[in-house]
Amino acid sequence: MASPLLRQKVVDLTEERLKTEENEHLLDSTSPTYLADREKRRHEITSQLLDITADMLDKMVCKMESKTYIRSAFYGATQLLTRAYNAVHVSDSEVKRLQEVATSAAKKKQSILFLPRHTSHVDYVTLQVVCYRLGLTLPVVVAGDNLNFPIVGGFLQSCGAMWIRRSFANDQLYTALVQAYLDTMLQQGYNLECFIEGGRSRTGKLLSPKFGFLSFVLDSILAGRTEDVWICPVSLQYDKVIEVDSYVNELLGKPKQKEDLAGFLSASSVLSLNLGRIDCRFHEPWSLKDFISEQQARQTLGADFSAGSNSRIRLLRTLGYRVLSDINEASVVMPTALVGTVLLTIRGRGIGKSELARRVDWLAKRIRLKGGKVADFKGMPTSHVVERALDVLGPKLVGTVDGLAEETFYAIDRFQLSFYRNMTIHLFISEALIAAALYSRVKQGGGSANERMTEAELIDKVTFLSQLFRGEFIFTAGQGLQHNLEDAVQGLVRDDVLTTSVDGETMVGLSDSERKSGRESYDLYCFLIWPFVDAAWLGAVSLLALAPSTDTSAGWVEMQKAQDMAHFAGRTLYHQGDLSYFEAVNKEALRNSYSRFQEEGIIQVAKATDPKNKPTVRLAPEWRPERDAVSNELKPSGRLWEFIENIAQFRREGKNRRDEAAVSTRVLSLAAKLNQQIFAEELQIPAEAQPDSVKESRRRSKL
pLDDT digit string, tens, across residues 387-422: 999 999 999 999 998 889 999 999 999 999 999 999
pLDDT at residue 262 tops 60: no
DSSP code, position 634: B
pLDDT-above-70 percentage for the chain? 90
Q: Are strands 557-558 and 505-510 parallel, antiparallel or unpaired?
A: unpaired
Model confidence over 482-497: pLDDT tens digits?
777 888 889 999 999 9
Same CATH topology for 333-422 and 428-518: the answer is: yes
Model confidence over 650-679: pLDDT tens digits?
999 865 444 555 567 888 889 889 988 888
The CA distance from 546 to 343, in Å, is 37
pLDDT at residue 687 tops 50: no
Give the fold, CATH level 3, of 333-422: Arc Repressor Mutant, subunit A (1.10.10)
Please enumerate, as own/partner, the contacts of 255-258 that have beta carbons within 8 Å and a separation of 24 or more. Answer: 258/146
Mean pLDDT in the chain?
A: 87
The residue among 156 and 694 whose pLDDT is bigger is: 156
The model's confidence at residue 684, banded by pLDDT at 50, 70 and 90, is very low
pLDDT at residue 199 tops 60: yes
Query: Is the distance from CB of 475 to CB of 429 less than 8 angstroms?
Result: yes
Model confidence over 287-332: pLDDT tens digits?
999 999 998 888 765 667 777 788 888 899 999 999 999 999 999 9
pLDDT computed for residue 437 by the predictor:
96
pLDDT-above-90 percentage for the chain? 60
- Of the options 3.20.20.70, 3.20.20.140, 3.40.50.300, 3.40.1130.10, the CATH number for the domain spanning 61-330: 3.40.1130.10
Give residue limits of the domains in the chain: 4-59, 61-330, 333-422, 428-518, 524-702
Q: How far is CA 654 from CA 349, 524, 634, in A?
A: 15, 17, 24
Model confidence over 579-638: pLDDT tens digits?
999 999 998 889 999 999 999 999 999 987 666 778 899 999 999 988 888 888 888 888
For 42-51, 57-66, 338-347, 375-384, which range has the lowest pLDDT when averaged over its residues? 375-384
pLDDT computed for residue 257 by the predictor:
64
Ranges assigned E (strand) in 424-527? 453-454, 498-503, 505-510
Q: Which residue in 427, 429, 83, 417 sits closest to 247, CA to CA?
A: 417
pLDDT computed for residue 259 by the predictor:
57
Model confidence over 112-124: pLDDT tens digits?
999 999 999 899 8
- Of the options 1.10.240.10, 1.10.10.10, 3.30.70.520, 3.90.650.10, the CATH number for the domain spanning 428-518: 1.10.10.10
List the Cα angle 265/271/276 in 5-degree steps.
150
β-bridge mates for residue 617, sequence order: 557, 605
pLDDT at residue 685 tops 50: no
pLDDT at residue 691 tops 60: no
Burial of 454-485, coded b for 16+ CB within 10 Å and e otherwise, reads ebebbbebbebbbebbbebbbbbbeeebeebb
pLDDT computed for residue 181 by the predictor:
96
CA terminus-to-terminus distance, the chain: 55
